[in-house]
Structure formats: structure tokens, C-alpha cells
Amino acid sequence: MTQPTSDTSSAAKWMLILAWVCLFGLLILVFGDLLDEQENPNQAPMSVMRGQQVEIRLEQNRQGHYVVSGTINGRPVVFLIDTGATSVAIPAHLADELSLPRGRSAYAATANGNVRITLTEIASLTIGEITLHNVEANINPGMQSDQILLGMSALKQLEFTQRGETLILRTL
């Protein structure tokens, strides 16, 4: 019986390591998508026509929040529905890539205290087939996440109802 050469056993070890790395990479991709789906179960919101109204039904995420994908000025974003926010609040690090004009400065009372914000206006905001125009918003340097708080300056242009774990948005 002949013993494998060190070149053969070394190649076999590297092949085994490569196979494990590929397997872990695949698992990360699969579980990453599952975690994204749990954080934002409304990545592709479906729109339904109800007479003249457009209706979208959103599911709660695992934390009980309504998170939904949409666009601002044609660029993809993720919204966190926040009925307690007076206006749409955008993290400062996203403002330039969303092509937002900067207006005057103001102060806002937030959950983290008073913060100096910059007022702006969103030319176009979409969720599914719902499109809103000229939405008042603010650029908030205190926000660190990539989620945009969809506050009442946008929601007041819609009819919304919560039933169980579903939030229904309808055009007026």
C-alpha cells in the first residue's frame, strides 16, 4: 500500500477548506436574506386598486414595526412608519445621495432630545404604486441608521388603518 504524497494530501486539505468556505458563504447569503425579510417583510409591497384608490397592505416585522421599501426622488430607500413623527425624517448621511435641497435650520424635539435639523422637501416619494409629491421633511444629523422615518407629513396624504398585524395604506 502506498502512502499519498504530501502534495496530494495538501491539495486535498485545500479542497476541503475551499468547500467549507463555499458552504459558509452560501449559508451567510441564505440566512442574510431571511434576516432581511424578517426586518423588512414589505420589500416589494403589492398595490391593489379599490375603485379610484390605491391600497397597500403592510405586515409587521418581528419587532412589531411597519418597515417598507420605497423610493425618494427615484432612489431606493427603506421607510419605518412612525405616526409619532411630525414629518419625514432623513438621516443626514443619506440626504446628498437622495438629491434633497437644504433649507433653513430648525430645532426638533426627538426621543433623543432636541436636535438641530435642516428642513427640506421631497419632490417624489413612492411606496408600491402610491406616489406622493412635495412632501415636507427634515434632515436629521442625529439619525445613524439607513431607515427613513415616514412621519405625518407624508401619512396625512393617505388614509391608514391598522387591523391586527396589518397596516393598510390608501390614497385619498
84 contact partners, CB below 8 Å, separation of at least 6:
151
Query: Distance between CA 125 and CA 119 in Å, rounded?
Result: 16
pLDDT tier for residue 75 given thresholds of 50, 70 and 90? very high
Residue 13 vs residue 2, higher pLDDT:
13
| pTM confidence score | 0.77
Report, as an integer, the average pLDDT of 45-57: 94
Q: Is 140 exposed, middle or buried (0-12, 13-18, 19+ CB in 10 A)?
A: buried
pLDDT tier for residue 13 given thresholds of 50, 70 and 90? confident
Q: Rounded to whole angstroms, what are the CA distances from 41 to 36, 53, 107, 161, 168?
A: 8, 23, 33, 18, 14
Judge contact between 58 and 45, C-beta under 8 A.
yes
Q: 47-171: which CATH number, 3.30.1390.20, 2.60.40.10, 2.40.70.10, 3.40.50.150?
A: 2.40.70.10
- pLDDT tens profile 52-70: 999 999 999 999 999 999 9
